[in-house]
Amino acid sequence: MTQNNQNTRSQHLDAAAQDTLWDVLVIGGGASGLGAAVEAATRGYRTLLLESHDYAKGTSSRSTKLVHGGVRYLAQGNVSLVREALHERGLLKKNAPHLVRDQGFLIAAYKWWSAPFYGIGLKMYDLLAGKLNLQNSRYVNKATALKGIPTLKKAGLGGGILYFDGQFDDSRLAITLLRTFENHGGIALNYAPVTGLTKSGNKVTGATFHDEETGQTHTVRAKVTINATGVFVDDLRRMEDPSVKPMLSPSQGVHVVVDRRFLPGDNALMIPRTDDGRVLFAVPWHDHVVIGTTDTPVPDVSWEPRALPEEVEFILKTAAQYLDPAPTRADVRSVYAGLRPLVKAAEGTDTKALSRDHVIRISAGGMLTLTGGKWTTYRRMGADAINQAANLAGLPGRMSLTEGLKLHGATDAEQAEPWKVYGTDSERVKALPGASTKLHPELPYVEAEVRWAVQQEQARTIEDVLARRTRAILLNARASADIAPRVAAIMAEELGQDEGWQAAQVQAYRELAAGYMLPNTVLPENATAL
């Protein structure tokens, strides 16, 4: 078993580094990169994907967990973007039913005009979804509103509007796309940062990458190179042209995660206009509640953005206007931040007013940059990118097949936590040692999932397992730090690593997990405090 896992990585590395001419090289393993890679591979193009850290390490694992049309964009008058997103929402539910489900959202009416005002807009939302609509929006009275969200403040509540969107697990969708890509002959490698672009004259002909596990550098050649590195696209663009002007104006979104008791009913809460003019959601997720998000312009991008104290306070203060009891700082199990790759607008434009539509730009050397967009439209982003990439590279024209493509593990069968996200693979996970041994009483995950993550999902570090293959760090950062030694021991057994590797992994993970806790959170023994 151990040998097989090492061989799998070495086989991926050998395939990536062989002297061959790839049709498509995709740099970046988040929503846009994986979407483009699946699109290319299913059209029969020979495709390589390189990821500098781990799949969905950046923004793509830090979303609000919604597959949605974007009610806010409708209010901004961007009807075409909403229509496209609602279409893709419907396709994604069909193609990955093990990861996407219908979620009711209540807009609570505390003012007499709220229900008719928002009701009209949401009828338009239903109409734009057409045949792929989930369920029709409707007015509900006070009793029904409280049945769906029993913790809503009762004073002044006059009912509300219930509408429906999709809810999903973002990094599990990323891993599902990785598996789908591999099923169609694609080669993907994580921990393989691109260190430079290769050129023939001015034309980009491929890239060099550094394999972090072997320390070796390799060169790959490709007919077309796609820059899908999210908030880091400008770094790669500067590798081609150091004088290029930045495309992005990044914005930070923060979420807090609390226990389910603060939102115990079936419905999520949608607050259509906060004090700063944003939309805020409180959404049930993996038997917890995700509350967010903020919108704070940031001057610099990083792999581990941190929530500002005022962002956390804003979220908790806004939630307290609607929920009773309302969560306090002491109730926060995890806090996480993600960066939005918003394309630059005119000076002085507020980031919450920028369009979330995706953008494709082609450089003088023929590198295609794909950025912007959101998880809901990942498939459309990938299709648009590969249409243009195929033209650029002179690849044979082939139709997109992804509209009706069932993603890896797709099944309509209902399964309990934590098995549902594995779809048709769940029985194989359950067959592994430790399938009935929970890692922590406050988390849903079992030891068998750690083995599966290493054997089948390219997990190489504790962080890969606890942040993205499972969602432990987001559900309860402290509990995830508690189980780091056991996870390290299982992974070491699978990967053939020694005690020194385990100790280094545990230390690195606990330092990471501390950043997902609010100050004064009790840490495991020997962990690093904030």
Exposed e or buried b per residue across 249-274, where buried means at least 16 C-beta atoms within 10 angstroms of its C-beta: bbbbbbbbbbbeebbebebbbbbbeb
Are the C-beta atoms of residues 247 and 343 closer than 8 Å to each other? yes
> What is the pLDDT of the chain when averaged over all its residues?
93
Tokens of 149: 């969200």
- What is this structure's pTM? 0.95
The DSSP element (H or E) to which 370 belongs, if any, is strand 368-372
Tokens of 138: 């409707």
In whole angstroms, give the CA distance from residue 446 to residue 452: 11
Angle at which helix 484-495 crosses helix 499-514, to 10 degrees, equals 140
Question: Residue 355 — pLDDT band, cuts 50, 70, 90?
Answer: very low
Section 468-484 average pLDDT:
98
**DSSP summary character for residue 23:** E
**pLDDT at 349 exceeding the cut of 60:** no
Which residue, chain included where needed, has tokens 């069968």?
413
What digits encode the pLDDT tens for the residues 147-196? 999 999 999 999 999 999 999 999 999 999 999 999 999 999 999 999 99
Are the C-beta atoms of residues 97 and 412 closer than 8 Å to each other? yes
Structural domains in the chain, sorted by start: 2-59+172-248+353-404 (3.50.50.60), 84-166+250-343 (3.30.9.10), 420-514 (1.10.8.870)
Task: Give Cα 35 to chain centroid, integer Å.
Answer: 12
- The pLDDT, as a whole number, for residue 520 is 60
Cross-strand partners of 437: none
Burial bucket for residue 303 (CB in 10 Å: 0-12, 13-18, 19+): exposed
Question: Residue 348 — pLDDT band, cuts 50, 70, 90?
Answer: very low
Are the C-beta atoms of residues 478 and 513 closer than 8 Å to each other? yes
Question: Residue 4 — pLDDT band, cuts 50, 70, 90?
Answer: low
- The pLDDT, as a whole number, for residue 8 is 85
What digits encode the pLDDT tens for the residues 92-106? 999 999 999 999 999
What digits encode the pLDDT tens for the residues 295-326? 999 988 999 999 999 999 999 999 999 999 99
**DSSP summary character for residue 57:** -
Question: Residue 357 — pLDDT band, cuts 50, 70, 90?
Answer: confident
Integer-rounded Cα radius of gyration of the chain: 23
